[in-house]
Amino acid sequence: MKGLRTEDDIEQGGSSPPPAVLVTLLAVVLAGVIAVFASGVMVWVGVGALALGAAYFASRNATPKKGSGDVAKARRLLLLLDRGGVADCKVPADFTNEWATVYERVNKASLDMRTGSSALVELEKLRKQIELAVSILDKDKDPLLEARELRSSPLEPLLSYTQDSAATPGSGGQVVSKLTLGEEEELIGSGSDKLPDDWPKPAGGPSSSQDAPARPGTRGAMGSGSGVGAGIGSGGAEMESGLRELMREIEALRTTLAGGASESPRQNEDPAIRTPAQLVDAVVLTAADGIEDLAAGLMRANELASVAERVTNRATLLALNAALEATRSGSEAFAAIAEETRRLAEFAREATDTISRLSSEIEYKVGETITAIHATSEDAKNSLAELSGTAVPVPHAARSARVQVVRLLERCRELLSSLGAPQMPLMPGLEARPGSATKPSKGANSTQDNVENDSPPADKLPLEGILLIEGLKPGANLES
């Protein structure tokens, strides 16, 4: 019957432990009933104790058993993924066998995600480091000593070398007196003291202040410094201005990279940089404008030629009438004048005919040229489109960013060169590209050339388009 429990239901219900709430409720009711029959304080205390004991017993039975540990491990892996991995990974003891391998992989993946080696993150990191270095330099302090993170940054060789340059021997002052090295250590010494072995050294540069030659422009070499700030001195100021410029460049690059994906290439383009098709259009428009002006001038010349023709006709009529009168009168003087008038009229006639013929020829050639330019423009556009289609498309933002990065590197190299430091890799990821690595022996232009050579062939097309248009101008030797 409906609503009645079957034996199976009863058996299933009997096999499962009673809920803690139900047991507690039954214990309280039972205690209450007992208390009603035997009233008294001690009885009530006993009733309470009995209820608490029942509740504790029920809760012990009702608490689910702890899982086998896999779920907990999975939760810990999720937490690890969420918080990001650590560099020195230590697998917990309870992660054994496959779980240890999974833990290491998740740690590595989360560490990669957290540290992110994208260009934007690297640039942001570099920008912050430069900003930090500038702020420390503003306080006339040594960035390498004040900020430990700068020792492992790409700026370390530059900062270190500047420090070495400032600590040249013979400066006469105490270059290094008492410097805080991190939080635990202190470095005490003077200008003639050698730096400790564990002192950060520039890559490929002089290993100590003893090896560093005195360079003009540094306060240490001028002998007027008396402390770290004074030791860094003018070299630091020069470096500071260079770093500020570097930071501006990086800011621009960061903006370009960050906004390149959302903005269309047209919006990012420099107005002075035009596509080959736009150049062809510009050439055609310029030529068309010039030819239209020429045609307008030609029309005016035709009008003047018409007036000249009428004047010539009048002169011819005058000459004829003069000759007619001279013939009738028989006067030789009159005949001579009439003859001169006739010659003048003939001369004017020849000149007018020549002008009219030239004007007609120019008008015809102008019309032909306009037609040829329009036809050639279309051909050039089609050819450029075909050639551009074969080239590997390079996003404009990426190209612009690469150019800016290369300029940035060149600035850094110039800055180092002005300080007398050897070549250093500021942003290793940009120079270590196989097949496009910059050879230091080629000088500063090699990197720029390298980037320009990486541009798609379409970048070289404007000149070809212009030459194509130039070759189709009237009088041009098409075969050549």
Partner 1 sequence: MNLGTRGALTFRLGDYNFAVRVEEAGGVLDADRLAQLPGVTEPIAGVAAFRGEMVPVVDLAQYLGIESDAPHRYALVLYRGADRFALLVPEIPRLIPGRDLREAPPEAPDPELSDLFESTLETDQDHYHCLNYWQIFESIIPQTASAARDARARRTG
**Residue ranges in contact with partner 1 by CB under 8 A:** 313-314, 316-317, 320-321, 323-325, 327-328, 330
Min separation Cβ 380 and partner 1, Å: 47
Query: Which residue, among 424, 407, 406, has the nearest Cα to 159 in the 3D structure?
Result: 424
Query: Which residue, among 202, 138, 171, 214, has the nearest Cα to 416 in the 3D structure?
Result: 202
Between 192 and 313, whose beta carbon lies closer to partner 1?
Answer: 313
Between 77 and 322, whose beta carbon lies closer to partner 1?
Answer: 322
Which residue shows structure tokens 């003087």?
333
Min separation Cβ 367 and partner 1, Å: 27
Between 56 and 347, whose beta carbon lies closer to partner 1?
Answer: 347
Between 278 and 321, whose beta carbon lies closer to partner 1?
Answer: 321
Min separation Cβ 330 and partner 1, Å: 7
Min separation Cβ 354 and partner 1, Å: 19
Written as six digits, the tokens of 121 are 């993150």
Crossing angle (nearest 10°) for helices 276-329 and 332-390:
170
Min separation Cβ 302 and partner 1, Å: 19
The C-alpha atoms of residue 28 and residue 196 are separated, in whole angstroms, by 78
How far is the first Cα of the chain from the last one, in angstroms, to the nearest whole number?
A: 108
Min separation Cβ 352 and partner 1, Å: 14
Are the CB atoms for 465 and 451 separated by under 8 Å? Answer: no
Which residue shows structure tokens 């934007």?
120
Between 136 and 338, whose beta carbon lies closer to partner 1?
Answer: 338
368, 370, 373, 390, 441 from 376: Cα distances, Å: 12, 10, 5, 21, 45
Name residue 198's amino acid. D
Burial 70-108 (b: 16+ CB within 10 A, else e): eeebeebbeebeeeebeeeeeeeeebeeebeeebeebbe
Which residue shows structure tokens 């260079």?
242
The DSSP bridge partners found for residue 163 are none
Between 319 and 419, whose beta carbon lies closer to partner 1?
Answer: 319
Residue 186 dihedral angles phi and psi, to the nearest 5°:
-135, 145
Min separation Cβ 365 and partner 1, Å: 29
The C-alpha atoms of residue 347 and residue 365 are separated, in whole angstroms, by 27
Min separation Cβ 311 and partner 1, Å: 12
The C-alpha atoms of residue 43 and residue 40 are separated, in whole angstroms, by 5
Min separation Cβ 314 and partner 1, Å: 7
